[in-house]
């Protein structure tokens, strides 16, 4: 099973990257117990809907396609009108998935796209986005629950509360200059969330980062021997053959006027590069007559041109020098050596790049295997079914209604 590369991968890369600047990784010591009392609640429990008449049992659903409706309780208006409540589409680890909360951060965009995209295209794109977001939510919830379960029981409640308090204090320092009220106002302006919701979300993310660091990243080790072998395998990539870059002016020997023009301009001190870019040049004037070739060994022994006379002149040049006119094979040529580029990367300089690439590859493998194991033993509603139901709700909420038949 392929793992979604969405939010979970982002948390791993942004929160647990080796040496990543500006990030931190939780350690077990941050969950240490203190004298504080009370259980930590990382996310609010789903709020149950109103009870059906009689005070017990689940609400009576009238139509899923109209979102979930139920009959009012004893305090409802006398006309017994149905009351609209949110649509529950499934569960993830015991947490209900409600349509309104699911679409909260995307509904404005979905509504705008519904006005500009063809209907079928909108449905296809929205279905993919719903499935991706559902999988990200499943993976984050599984990781969050796994992180909490892996903590020592003595640290689980008070330790998590300490972490949440620390996150709250940190936000107040950064966003309010020490004032909780100012931090709350700033937070609402920036994110639309109150402090409690923000702290719960950040607490969940910190727990996920902690779990990913402990169960994925800390298991990846790249040995020096692996780095050496990869460097040897890719030696040509790090130490490519040197490249000679020439500027070549070539004119048919039958074009006497062009030949005379170029000779006179060169004698007058006109820039070789400027002449190479003129239409009189028969070799790629649109590219300035640039001609490149790689070579092995010494430059003086390089084979750059088919014409032996032209090549013999070229290998005597130093950067910036030119030779010509050279008559050969029906052309008159002038050639300048622009530069010789040599790239040499020793193992010492290449090791960090190789280590980072190999680390990322192994980390992705570990992440996929770990998430697959979590999903196999996790508890959540069928993703295809939840996707179908959410897509139906999205279409009814955000797509313009179809015109009646025959209209």
Architecture of domain 241-341: Roll (3.10)
Which tens digits make up the pLDDT trace of 190-248?
Answer: 877 778 888 888 888 888 888 888 888 888 889 999 999 999 999 988 988 899 999 99
State yes or no: pLDDT of 297 exceeds 80.
yes
β-bridge partners, 248? 335
pLDDT interval class at 95 (50, 70, 90): confident
Q: Are strands 290-294 and 243-252 parallel, antiparallel or unpaired?
A: antiparallel
Which tens digits make up the pLDDT trace of 347-358?
Answer: 988 999 999 999
pTM over the 0.85 mark: no
> CA 157, CA 148: separation in Å to the nearest integer?
9
Choice between 137 and 402, residue whose per-residue pLDDT is larger: 137
> CA 247, CA 292: separation in Å to the nearest integer?
9
Neighbours of 162 (CB within 10 A): 18
- Average model confidence (pLDDT) across the chain: 77
Q: What string of H, E and C letters represents the secondary structure of the chain?
A: CCCCCCHHHHHHHHHHCCCCCCCCCCCHHHHCCCCCCCCCCCCCCCCCCCCCCCCCCCCCCCCHHHCCEECCCCCCCCCCCCEECCCEEEEECCEEEEHHHHHCCCHHHHHHHHHHCCHHHHHHHHHHHHHHHHHHHHHHHHHHHHHHHHCCHHHHHHHHHHHHHHHHHHHHHHHHCCCHHHHHHHHHHHHCCCHHHHHHHHHHHHHHHHHHHHHCHHHCCCCHHHHHHHHHHCHHHHCCCCEEEEEEEEEECCCHHHHHHHHHHHHCCCCHHHHHCCCCCCCCHHHCCEEEEECCCCHHHCCCCCCHHHHHHHCCCCCCCEEEEEEECCEEEEEEEEEEECCCCCHHHHHHHHHHHHHHHHHHHHHHHHHHHHHHHCCECCHHHHHHHHHHHHHHHHCCCCCCCCC
Burial class, 135, CB count within 10 angstroms (exposed 0-12 / middle 13-18 / buried 19+): buried
Confidence at residue 232, expressed as pLDDT on a 0 to 100 scale: 92
pLDDT interval class at 159 (50, 70, 90): confident
- Please list, in sequence order, all residues whose beta carbon lies within 8 angstroms of the beta carbon of residue 142, skipping any fewer than 6 positions away: 93, 371, 374, 375, 378
pLDDT interval class at 9 (50, 70, 90): very low
Polymer length in residues for the chain: 407
> CA 32, CA 166: separation in Å to the nearest integer?
12
Choice between 3 and 271, residue whose per-residue pLDDT is larger: 271
> CA 25, CA 34: separation in Å to the nearest integer?
21
Percentage of the chain beyond pLDDT 70 is: 78
Please state the domain extents for the chain: 7-49+85-221+356-398, 241-341
């Amino acid at each position: 099973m392929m793992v979604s590369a969405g939010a979970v991968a982002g948390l791993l890369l942004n929160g647990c990257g080796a040496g990543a600047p500006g990030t931190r990784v939780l350690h077990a010591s941050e969950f240490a117990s203190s004298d504080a009392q009370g259980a930590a609640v990382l996310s609010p429990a789903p709020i149950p809907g109103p009870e059906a008449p009689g005070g017990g049992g689940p609400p009576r659903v009238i139509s899923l396609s109209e979102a979930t409706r139920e009959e009012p309780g004893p305090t409802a208006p006398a006309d017994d009108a149905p009351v609209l409540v949110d649509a529950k589409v499934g569960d993830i680890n015991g947490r209900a998935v409600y349509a309104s909360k699911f679409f909260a951060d995307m509904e404005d965009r979905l509504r705008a796209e519904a006005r500009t995209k063809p209907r079928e295209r909108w449905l296809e794109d929205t279905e993919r986005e719903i499935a991706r977001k559902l999988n990200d939510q499943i993976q984050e919830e599984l990781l969050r629950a796994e992180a909490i379960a892996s903590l020592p029981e003595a640290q689980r409640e008070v330790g998590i509360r300490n972490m949440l308090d620390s996150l709250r204090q940190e936000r107040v320092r950064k966003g309010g200059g020490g004032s909780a009220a100012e931090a709350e106002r700033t937070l609402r302006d920036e994110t639309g969330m109150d402090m409690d919701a923000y702290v719960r979300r950040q607490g969940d993310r910190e727990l996920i980062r902690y779990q990913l660091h402990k169960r994925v990243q800390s298991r990846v080790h790249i040995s020096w021997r692996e780095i050496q072998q990869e460097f040897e395998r890719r030696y040509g990539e790090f130490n490519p053959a040197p490249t000679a870059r020439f500027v070549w002016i070539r004119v048919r020997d039958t074009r006497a006027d062009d030949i005379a023009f170029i000779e006179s301009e060169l004698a007058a001190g006109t820039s070789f590069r400027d002449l190479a870019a003129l239409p009189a040049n028969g070799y790629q004037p649109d590219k300035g007559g640039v001609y490149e070739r790689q070579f092995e060994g010494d430059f003086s022994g390089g084979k750059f041109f088919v014409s032996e006379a032209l090549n013999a002149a070229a290998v005597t040049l130093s950067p910036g020098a030119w030779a010509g006119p050279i008559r050969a094979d029906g052309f008159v040529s002038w050639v300048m050596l622009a530069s010789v580029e040599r790239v040499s990367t020793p193992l010492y300089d290449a090791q960090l790049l190789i280590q980072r690439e190999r680390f990322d590859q192994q980390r992705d493998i570990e992440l996929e295997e770990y998430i697959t194991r979590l999903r196999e033993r996790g508890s959540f509603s069928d993703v295809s079914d939840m996707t179908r139901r959410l897509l139906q709700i999205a279409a009814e909420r955000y797509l313009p209604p179809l015109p009646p038949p025959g209209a």
